[in-house]
Structure 1
Amino acid sequence: MTRSALLNIDTQCSFFHRHYWQETEFPAFQQALNELIRGCEALQVPVVDIFHVDGDDVFTLESGFVTPMPFLTHRPAVAFHKHVHNAFTDTGLDRWLRGRDINHLIIAGIRTEQCCETTARVASDLGYKVTFVSEATLTFPMTWQGVTLDAQTLRHRTETVLQGRFASILTVAQTLEQLA
């Protein structure tokens, strides 16, 4: 039997204070994530909040910004603080999941190609079945060597490298249908 949990990764106020923050895709992200959370709660799938904490000003606990974004009104089953890109290293998440016999993870949150993707890869390597709900992830354009990748391109790249290797890429509706 598959037991699932939703990992809501880094949906925290810290990002409002980063130079790369953009509102462009934020409304669609909010809607998709809220729909996914509500659907999981209705199906009694635990929602686990993960917050990134490090020494970077707005990501320190002392900053007061390592808190859920205001649109989030759910009560998580548990919350963990991570200090690296994935949600497993030194957090206790794996122990918590295995203690509840959870073997399927649904990934959503902020920085599609960083913390969400890295968590999906590690989860797969640890033996979890992974569903990556990219429409319920958010990212921002990135530039390297004079080439800028927009959020849509980064999302597509993440879907391409995860699909069939580390995760199944599903929409919110498809995820909730499979859970039901």
Structure 2
Amino acid sequence: MRLADNAALIVIDVQQGFDDPAWGPRDNPDAEANIGRLAAAWADASRPVVLVRHDSRTPGSPLAPGRPGNALKPVVAGVTHDLFVTKHVNSAFYGDPDLDAWLRSQGISELVVCGIQTNMCVETTARMAGNLGYRVIVPLDATHTFDLEGPGGLRLAAADLATATAVNLAGGGFAEVVTTADVLDG
């Protein structure tokens, strides 16, 4: 896979609060290791890295500022980065500082998006990036999510949600869905 020399790695919400058992069953136990591999490759290539943190406003959330779960997981906590974005919603494009403005000021048009949760903040950020005209690559194995219950007791397993995200992003023309190996071996 050929990427621009300035392709940015966007690492979304890799926070300790997602280790809280209250989230329920998750998929992809290798997600953090793959995120770490991507971060190391970006550091070695001196490519731009953007870390994103979700600062929840929901009372009692493990992701709320001031709670231990708000902190980044060790796999990314020490990563040298070019921009740190905090957000309160699903999309990193609605954070502070303005991600889109920063990317454009740097002449960046390609994004590799990874992190937590696959079907929430990763998918929403990737969709917005696609709508904004960026080339978006999502190494699905560098993401993970949790089982989720919807209306009327309808429940989907985390793996099914990840599959739906892959279909939504690739089938909808928002992003290329690949593996970490595809990105690193390209």
The normalised TM-score by structure 2 is 0.87
Distance 1:4 1:76 in 2: 13
> For residues 78-117 of structure 1, what are the structure 2 equivalents within 5 Å?
78-91=83-96, 92-117=98-123
Would the aligned equivalents of 2:8 and 2:49 in 1 still touch at CA under 8 Å? Answer: yes
The match for 2:36 is: 34
The secondary structure found in structure 1 opposite 2:69 is coil
TM-score (norm 1): 0.90
Alignment RMSD: 1.9
Q: Please give the per-residue CA displacement for 1:60-101, whole angstroms capped at 9, x wherever unaligned.
A: 212243211123342222211011100001421111111111
Tell me what 2:80 maps to: 75
Choose the corresponding residue for 1:60, options 57, 60, 64.
64
Q: Give 1:22 shift.
A: 4.3
Contact 1:40 1:176 in 2 (8 A): no
Distance 1:59 1:30 in 2: 17
Amino acid at match of 1:71: V
Q: Which stretch of structure 1 is more off in the superposition, 43-52 or 11-20?
A: 11-20
Q: Structure 1's 49 and 129: CA in aligned 2 closer, same or farther, altered over 3 A?
A: same
Q: Once the two structures are superposed, what CA deviation does each residue of 1:99-153 show, in whole Å capped at 9, x if it has no partner?
A: 1111001010001000000000000111111001110001011122333211111
Matches within 5 A, 1:150-169: 150-164=157-171, 165-169=173-177
- What does residue range 126-145 of structure 1 map to in structure 2 within 5 Å? 126-144=132-150, 145=152
Calculate percent identity across the aligned residue pairs.
31
The number of residue pairs the alignment matches comes to 177
Q: Which moved more, 1:103-112 or 1:83-92?
A: 83-92
Amino acid at match of 1:139: T
Q: CA deviation at 1:18?
A: 5.7
Unaligned runs of 5+ in 1: none
8 A Cα contact 2:57 2:88, kept in partner: no
Query: 5+ unaligned residues in a row in structure 2: which ranges?
Result: none
- The amino acid of 1:124's aligned partner reads G
* Distance in 1 separating the partners of 2:16 and 2:41: 23
Tell me, in whole angstroms, the C-alpha distance in 1 between the residues paired with 2:38 and 2:32.
10
Higher mean alpha-carbon deviation, 92-101 vs 71-80, is at 71-80
2:153 match = 146
